[in-house]
Amino acid sequence: MSFFLPVLLFCVFATSFISGVMSLGGGTILMGIFGWVMPVSVAMMLHGVAQIASNGTRGLIYWRHIQWPILGNYFIGAGLCVAVFTWLAFIPDKIILFLLLGLIPLANVMTPKNLALDITKRGTAIVCGFLVSACMLTAGVSGPLLDTFYVKSRLDRFEVHATKGVTQTIGHIIKIIYYAVFLGFLDQATESISGWMYLAVIPAAYFGVLASRRVLTR
Protein backbone atom coordinates (compact mmCIF):
# COMPACT_ATOMS: atom_id res chain seq x y z
CA MET A 1 0.00 0.00 0.00
CA SER A 2 2.88 2.39 0.75
CA PHE A 3 3.87 2.31 -2.94
CA PHE A 4 0.44 3.62 -3.89
CA LEU A 5 0.26 6.44 -1.35
CA PRO A 6 1.81 9.15 -3.58
CA VAL A 7 -0.47 8.01 -6.41
CA LEU A 8 -3.50 8.19 -4.14
CA LEU A 9 -2.56 11.70 -3.02
CA PHE A 10 -2.27 12.81 -6.65
CA CYS A 11 -5.71 11.30 -7.28
CA VAL A 12 -7.10 13.34 -4.37
CA PHE A 13 -5.59 16.52 -5.85
CA ALA A 14 -6.82 15.80 -9.38
CA THR A 15 -10.37 14.83 -8.40
CA SER A 16 -10.67 17.87 -6.10
CA PHE A 17 -9.68 20.03 -9.07
CA ILE A 18 -12.39 18.38 -11.17
CA SER A 19 -15.02 18.98 -8.48
CA GLY A 20 -13.79 22.55 -8.03
CA VAL A 21 -14.50 23.30 -11.69
CA MET A 22 -17.60 21.20 -12.38
CA SER A 23 -19.10 20.94 -8.86
CA LEU A 24 -19.45 17.17 -9.33
CA GLY A 25 -17.64 14.11 -10.66
CA GLY A 26 -14.40 14.21 -8.70
CA GLY A 27 -15.74 12.47 -5.62
CA THR A 28 -17.22 9.65 -7.68
CA ILE A 29 -13.91 9.00 -9.45
CA LEU A 30 -12.00 9.10 -6.17
CA MET A 31 -14.43 6.70 -4.46
CA GLY A 32 -13.95 4.25 -7.31
CA ILE A 33 -10.18 4.39 -6.89
CA PHE A 34 -10.30 4.00 -3.10
CA GLY A 35 -12.93 1.25 -3.28
CA TRP A 36 -10.75 -0.70 -5.70
CA VAL A 37 -7.59 -0.78 -3.57
CA MET A 38 -8.91 -0.97 0.01
CA PRO A 39 -11.82 -2.39 2.05
CA VAL A 40 -15.13 -0.58 1.63
CA SER A 41 -15.30 0.66 5.22
CA VAL A 42 -11.75 2.07 5.07
CA ALA A 43 -12.37 3.59 1.64
CA MET A 44 -15.50 5.30 2.97
CA MET A 45 -13.63 6.96 5.84
CA LEU A 46 -10.50 8.01 3.92
CA HIS A 47 -12.69 9.28 1.09
CA GLY A 48 -14.77 11.17 3.65
CA VAL A 49 -11.73 12.99 5.03
CA ALA A 50 -10.56 13.97 1.54
CA GLN A 51 -14.01 15.16 0.51
CA ILE A 52 -14.54 17.14 3.71
CA ALA A 53 -11.38 19.06 2.82
CA SER A 54 -12.40 19.46 -0.81
CA ASN A 55 -16.02 20.47 -0.30
CA GLY A 56 -15.28 22.43 2.85
CA THR A 57 -12.73 24.52 0.94
CA ARG A 58 -15.32 25.29 -1.73
CA GLY A 59 -17.78 26.33 0.96
CA LEU A 60 -15.22 28.65 2.56
CA ILE A 61 -14.08 30.21 -0.71
CA TYR A 62 -17.63 31.00 -1.82
CA TRP A 63 -19.26 31.37 1.62
CA ARG A 64 -21.01 34.62 0.66
CA HIS A 65 -23.06 32.66 -1.88
CA ILE A 66 -24.32 29.94 0.52
CA GLN A 67 -28.12 29.60 0.50
CA TRP A 68 -28.84 28.88 4.17
CA PRO A 69 -32.64 28.23 3.92
CA ILE A 70 -31.93 25.32 1.55
CA LEU A 71 -29.50 23.79 4.01
CA GLY A 72 -31.99 23.80 6.89
CA ASN A 73 -34.56 21.77 4.94
CA TYR A 74 -31.89 19.53 3.43
CA PHE A 75 -30.61 18.45 6.84
CA ILE A 76 -34.10 17.49 8.01
CA GLY A 77 -34.12 14.81 5.31
CA ALA A 78 -30.52 13.88 6.02
CA GLY A 79 -31.28 13.36 9.71
CA LEU A 80 -34.19 11.04 8.90
CA CYS A 81 -31.96 9.01 6.57
CA VAL A 82 -29.20 8.60 9.16
CA ALA A 83 -31.74 7.41 11.74
CA VAL A 84 -33.02 4.71 9.35
CA PHE A 85 -29.54 3.53 8.34
CA THR A 86 -28.32 3.44 11.94
CA TRP A 87 -31.31 1.25 12.82
CA LEU A 88 -30.57 -1.08 9.89
CA ALA A 89 -26.76 -1.00 10.43
CA PHE A 90 -26.36 -1.49 6.68
CA ILE A 91 -22.88 -2.22 5.27
CA PRO A 92 -22.48 -2.31 1.46
CA ASP A 93 -20.08 -4.77 -0.16
CA LYS A 94 -17.91 -3.95 -3.17
CA ILE A 95 -20.49 -5.24 -5.64
CA ILE A 96 -23.13 -2.83 -4.35
CA LEU A 97 -20.57 -0.03 -4.11
CA PHE A 98 -19.46 -0.25 -7.74
CA LEU A 99 -22.98 -0.89 -9.01
CA LEU A 100 -24.14 2.34 -7.37
CA LEU A 101 -21.05 4.22 -8.54
CA GLY A 102 -22.01 3.26 -12.07
CA LEU A 103 -25.68 4.17 -11.68
CA ILE A 104 -25.46 7.47 -9.78
CA PRO A 105 -23.88 9.41 -12.69
CA LEU A 106 -26.99 8.45 -14.72
CA ALA A 107 -29.33 10.08 -12.18
CA ASN A 108 -30.11 13.04 -14.42
CA VAL A 109 -30.82 10.77 -17.40
CA MET A 110 -33.12 8.49 -15.38
CA THR A 111 -35.05 11.37 -13.78
CA PRO A 112 -38.36 12.06 -15.60
CA LYS A 113 -38.08 15.33 -17.51
CA ASN A 114 -41.45 16.58 -16.25
CA LEU A 115 -40.39 16.15 -12.62
CA ALA A 116 -39.56 19.58 -11.23
CA LEU A 117 -36.74 18.87 -8.77
CA ASP A 118 -35.99 22.37 -7.51
CA ILE A 119 -33.79 22.41 -4.40
CA THR A 120 -35.10 25.83 -3.43
CA LYS A 121 -38.52 24.32 -2.59
CA ARG A 122 -38.87 23.12 1.01
CA GLY A 123 -40.36 19.67 0.33
CA THR A 124 -37.93 18.96 -2.48
CA ALA A 125 -34.96 19.90 -0.28
CA ILE A 126 -36.11 17.46 2.43
CA VAL A 127 -36.49 14.62 -0.10
CA CYS A 128 -33.10 15.56 -1.53
CA GLY A 129 -31.50 15.35 1.91
CA PHE A 130 -32.86 11.84 2.48
CA LEU A 131 -31.98 10.39 -0.95
CA VAL A 132 -28.57 12.02 -1.19
CA SER A 133 -27.61 10.86 2.31
CA ALA A 134 -28.72 7.32 1.44
CA CYS A 135 -26.38 7.37 -1.56
CA MET A 136 -23.61 8.79 0.58
CA LEU A 137 -23.83 5.93 3.08
CA THR A 138 -24.04 3.17 0.46
CA ALA A 139 -21.91 4.44 -2.44
CA GLY A 140 -19.80 6.99 -0.58
CA VAL A 141 -20.78 9.73 -3.05
CA SER A 142 -23.91 11.55 -4.16
CA GLY A 143 -22.76 14.45 -6.35
CA PRO A 144 -24.52 13.54 -9.63
CA LEU A 145 -27.79 12.80 -7.79
CA LEU A 146 -27.51 16.01 -5.79
CA ASP A 147 -26.92 17.92 -9.02
CA THR A 148 -30.33 16.86 -10.40
CA PHE A 149 -31.94 18.93 -7.65
CA TYR A 150 -29.99 22.02 -8.69
CA VAL A 151 -30.15 22.04 -12.50
CA LYS A 152 -33.75 23.33 -12.57
CA SER A 153 -33.25 25.95 -9.87
CA ARG A 154 -32.49 29.62 -10.52
CA LEU A 155 -29.31 29.59 -8.46
CA ASP A 156 -26.20 30.86 -10.21
CA ARG A 157 -23.01 28.83 -10.52
CA PHE A 158 -21.38 30.28 -7.41
CA GLU A 159 -24.50 29.73 -5.28
CA VAL A 160 -24.60 26.12 -6.46
CA HIS A 161 -20.91 25.63 -5.70
CA ALA A 162 -21.15 27.14 -2.22
CA THR A 163 -24.37 25.45 -1.12
CA LYS A 164 -23.43 22.04 -2.51
CA GLY A 165 -20.04 22.37 -0.87
CA VAL A 166 -21.61 22.73 2.57
CA THR A 167 -24.16 19.93 2.10
CA GLN A 168 -21.47 17.55 0.86
CA THR A 169 -19.11 18.49 3.70
CA ILE A 170 -21.71 17.67 6.34
CA GLY A 171 -22.68 14.53 4.41
CA HIS A 172 -19.13 13.19 4.51
CA ILE A 173 -18.85 13.99 8.21
CA ILE A 174 -22.00 11.94 8.75
CA LYS A 175 -20.52 9.14 6.63
CA ILE A 176 -17.36 8.98 8.73
CA ILE A 177 -19.34 8.98 11.98
CA TYR A 178 -21.63 6.25 10.64
CA TYR A 179 -18.77 3.88 9.71
CA ALA A 180 -16.33 4.78 12.49
CA VAL A 181 -18.73 5.08 15.45
CA PHE A 182 -22.08 3.48 14.66
CA LEU A 183 -20.63 0.48 12.77
CA GLY A 184 -17.36 0.33 14.73
CA PHE A 185 -14.81 0.32 11.88
CA LEU A 186 -12.46 2.90 13.38
CA ASP A 187 -9.81 0.32 14.40
CA GLN A 188 -9.85 -1.29 10.96
CA ALA A 189 -9.41 2.11 9.32
CA THR A 190 -6.35 3.01 11.38
CA GLU A 191 -4.78 -0.42 10.92
CA SER A 192 -5.23 -0.53 7.14
CA ILE A 193 -4.01 3.01 6.39
CA SER A 194 -1.33 4.92 8.30
CA GLY A 195 -2.56 7.90 10.28
CA TRP A 196 -0.52 10.42 8.31
CA MET A 197 -2.42 9.46 5.15
CA TYR A 198 -5.63 10.77 6.68
CA LEU A 199 -3.82 14.05 7.31
CA ALA A 200 -2.05 14.16 3.93
CA VAL A 201 -5.26 14.02 1.89
CA ILE A 202 -6.41 17.31 3.46
CA PRO A 203 -3.81 19.62 1.84
CA ALA A 204 -3.97 17.57 -1.38
CA ALA A 205 -7.71 18.26 -1.62
CA TYR A 206 -7.30 21.89 -0.55
CA PHE A 207 -4.73 22.70 -3.23
CA GLY A 208 -6.81 20.89 -5.84
CA VAL A 209 -9.78 23.16 -5.15
CA LEU A 210 -7.53 26.22 -4.94
CA ALA A 211 -6.08 25.42 -8.36
CA SER A 212 -9.57 25.18 -9.81
CA ARG A 213 -10.66 28.63 -8.64
CA ARG A 214 -9.13 30.53 -11.55
CA VAL A 215 -10.68 28.12 -14.07
CA LEU A 216 -14.13 28.47 -12.50
CA THR A 217 -13.89 32.25 -12.43
CA ARG A 218 -12.99 32.35 -16.13
- The more confidently predicted of residues 55 and 108 is 55
CA distance 215 to 218: 5
Mean pLDDT score of the chain:
87
Q: What is the pLDDT of residue 116?
A: 72
8 A C-beta contact, residue 40 and residue 195 = no
Model pTM score? 0.87
Share of the chain above pLDDT 90, in %: 36
Q: What is the pLDDT of residue 43?
A: 92
CA distance 139 to 115: 24
Q: Which of the four pLDDT bands, split at 50, 70 and 90, describes residue 78?
A: very high
Q: What is the pLDDT of residue 203?
A: 92
- The more confidently predicted of residues 1 and 96 is 96
Q: Which of the four pLDDT bands, split at 50, 70 and 90, describes residue 212?
A: confident
Tell me the longest C-alpha to C-alpha distance in the chain.
Answer: 50
Q: What is the pLDDT of residue 114?
A: 72
Task: Work out the average pLDDT over 85-103.
Answer: 90
Task: Work out the average pLDDT over 33-41.
Answer: 91
Q: Which domain holds residue 146?
A: 2-217
Q: What is the pLDDT of residue 142?
A: 87
- Which range of 10-24, 146-160, 165-179 scores highest in mean pLDDT? It is 165-179
Total structural domains within the chain: 1
- DSSP-based three-state secondary structure for 66: coil
8 A C-beta contact, residue 25 and residue 217 = no
Q: Which of the four pLDDT bands, split at 50, 70 and 90, describes residue 94?
A: very high
CA distance 189 to 192: 5
Q: What is the CA radius of gyration of the chain?
A: 16
Task: Work out the average pLDDT over 52-63.
Answer: 84
Residue range 102-134, pLDDT digits in tens: 988 887 777 777 777 888 898 999 999 999 999
